[in-house]
Amino acid sequence: MSVLPRRRFLLALLGALSLVLVGLAVSAAVRDTDPPQLYFEAQERLPAGEPLRLFVSADEPATFRLEYAGQVVEEVAQDVTFDVPVAPGVHPARVTATDGAGNASELTTVVTGVPALAPTLEAATLLRSGDPLGIRLSLHEAGTDAALRAQVADVLVTLGERVVPTRRVTDGADERLEALVATPLTVDPTTLGLRVVVTDEFGRVAELEREVVLEPLPVEVEQLRLSAATLAIVTPEARDLEAAVLAEAWARAEPEPLWSEPFRMPIGGVNTSGFGDARRYAQGGPVSFHNGLDLAAPMGTPVYATNAGRVLVSGHYPIKGGFVVLDHGGGVMSYYLHLSRLLVAEGQAVAGGELIGEVGSEGLSTGPHLHWEMRVHDQPSNPLAWVDRAFPGEAP
């Protein structure tokens, strides 16, 4: 080959190589090096077992990879919703999006999977008619981390047809609901349905049911022998006055309990008329149930507060005579009737066992005695069922 053709060949080869190098340089200059831009929607607190519903969108098609609670899911798309089940506990959810050029973006969020409520119910199943029923409802399994506890949105407790008020109790790390209700007075064997419905923050519902059997009251009717003069004090005006006083007292009741110790007997007198006894105040008159306990004792016998509370009523009234009402909070009050002396003032705080008055025979009474009542949300309950217990149903 002559020198001239060889030179032309070399020049052509150099030109071709130059074009290749220029092409490579241009290709490198325009190659995609930007990772996908991501838009991310995720809730940080979700009910365990429900779909995660984690939504991710990119500005270009990509391969999405979700790593969450031991699960790995991949999808090729531009928008994707991951519907894997929410795992109980706290777990990171990491999403990686890789485009066709191998560029990747990553986002991570922490998801708390909240287990459903696991309530347990404590309540007596056999009571005497008129006994107070204490209800305790544990909301979570013992030791459940606070972050994993479902919040209670609504609680409905019913005993038969009656709705029972509840209150929330926090004891250290534990949380529960408590309720108190007086069972009805009846002379017939009765079974009532106790039903608890708890709804959590996610709308999940837990229901618990049990039966409460009531032993009936005795059917013997006591005929009281009251003089016409004694019965004359029972007038509509006197009834209305005392009802208004009590209605006003209940309107001022403290919602939270003021006591923590067991209840006690206010005096040590002789039980002359039991709670729930059927009686007639006049010959041939209507039968009524005795709403309290009559304890006979000499005139002037000291009367003590059955438990800590606040004095809502202290005064003399036509039917109830010397009358003291103690609010123990939490829907519980105690009544002390027919007192000869009142030794506390309205608004005064008293301790359990503190002197509040003296036995008398004022009002509708046939002799010195204390009529003692224990009321739950204004319903009469058996006073003896409270004695030596801080909460009905507890072992004395």
**With contact defined as beta carbons under 8 Å apart, do 117 and 48 qualify?**
no
pLDDT confidence tier of residue 28, bands split at 50, 70 and 90: very low
Give the mean pLDDT of 286-307.
Answer: 91
pLDDT digits (tens, 9 = 90+) for 50-95: 999 999 999 999 999 999 999 999 999 999 999 999 999 999 999 9
Q: 377 and 235 in one domain?
A: yes
**With contact defined as beta carbons under 8 Å apart, do 177 and 155 qualify?**
yes
In a domain, 335, yes or no: yes
pLDDT confidence tier of residue 280, bands split at 50, 70 and 90: low
Query: Among residues 276, 168, 281, which one has the least CA distance to residue 223?
Result: 281
Bigger pLDDT: 155 vs 396: 155
Bigger pLDDT: 362 vs 273: 362
Q: 338 and 196 in one domain?
A: no
* pLDDT attached to residue 4: 53
Bigger pLDDT: 27 vs 43: 43
Query: How high does pLDDT run on average in the chain?
Result: 89
pLDDT confidence tier of residue 286, bands split at 50, 70 and 90: low
**With contact defined as beta carbons under 8 Å apart, do 116 and 88 qualify?**
no
In a domain, 274, yes or no: yes
* pLDDT attached to residue 309: 98
Q: Is the pLDDT of residue 223 over 70?
A: no
In a domain, 396, yes or no: no
- CATH for 192: 2.60.40.1930
* pLDDT attached to residue 141: 76
* pLDDT attached to residue 224: 62
pLDDT confidence tier of residue 366, bands split at 50, 70 and 90: confident
**With contact defined as beta carbons under 8 Å apart, do 282 and 231 qualify?**
yes
Query: Among residues 99, 175, 181, which one has the least CA distance to residue 132?
Result: 181
Q: 308 and 167 in one domain?
A: no
**With contact defined as beta carbons under 8 Å apart, do 52 and 93 qualify?**
yes
| Non-local CB neighbours of 61 within 8 Å, separated by 6+ positions | 76, 77, 78, 99, 100
pLDDT digits (tens, 9 = 90+) for 92-122: 999 999 999 999 999 999 999 999 998 999 9
In a domain, 342, yes or no: yes
Give the mean pLDDT of 269-285.
Answer: 74
**With contact defined as beta carbons under 8 Å apart, do 165 and 377 qualify?**
yes
The number of folded domains in the chain is 3
Calculate what percentage of the chain has a pLDDT beyond 70.
Answer: 85
pLDDT confidence tier of residue 277, bands split at 50, 70 and 90: confident
pLDDT confidence tier of residue 285, bands split at 50, 70 and 90: low
Range of the domain at 315: 221-385
* pLDDT attached to residue 218: 77
- CATH for 71: 2.60.40.10
Q: Is the pLDDT of residue 221 over 90?
A: no
Find the DSSP H helices in 37-140: none
* pLDDT attached to residue 384: 96
Q: 311 and 236 in one domain?
A: yes
pLDDT confidence tier of residue 290, bands split at 50, 70 and 90: confident
Q: 202 and 101 in one domain?
A: no
- 18 Cα distance to chain centroid: 82
Q: 262 and 362 in one domain?
A: yes
Q: Is the pLDDT of residue 236 over 80?
A: yes
Highest mean pLDDT, choosing among 27-41, 108-122, 225-239, 343-357: 343-357
In a domain, 173, yes or no: yes
In a domain, 28, yes or no: no
* pLDDT attached to residue 30: 53
In a domain, 373, yes or no: yes
- CATH for 273: 2.70.70.10
Of 88, 114, 140, the one marking the end of a domain is: 114
Of 68, 97, 114, the one marking the end of a domain is: 114
Q: Is the pLDDT of residue 140 over 60?
A: yes
- 391 Cα distance to chain centroid: 16
pLDDT digits (tens, 9 = 90+) for 340-355: 999 999 999 999 999 9
- The string over 36-57, giving b where at least 16 C-beta atoms fall within 10 Å of a residue's C-beta and e elsewhere, is bebeeebeebbbbeeebebebb
Residue identified by tokens 């002396």 is 341
In a domain, 255, yes or no: yes
Of 192, 215, 238, the one marking the end of a domain is: 215
Euclidean distance between CA atoms 71 and 315, whole angstroms: 72
Rg, the chain, Cα only: 39
* pLDDT attached to residue 8: 64
Would the pTM count as exceeding 0.75? yes
Dig out the tokens for 37 from the structure.
């831009």
Q: 291 and 338 in one domain?
A: yes
Bigger pLDDT: 10 vs 313: 313
Q: 67 and 81 in one domain?
A: yes
Q: 185 and 227 in one domain?
A: no
Q: 100 and 139 in one domain?
A: no
Q: Is the pLDDT of residue 247 over 80?
A: yes
pLDDT confidence tier of residue 332, bands split at 50, 70 and 90: very high
Q: What value, to the nearest 5°, has the Cα angle with vertex 134 and ends 275 and 378?
A: 55
Q: 344 and 253 in one domain?
A: yes
Q: 289 and 348 in one domain?
A: yes
Return the H-helix or E-strand segment holding 377. Answer: none
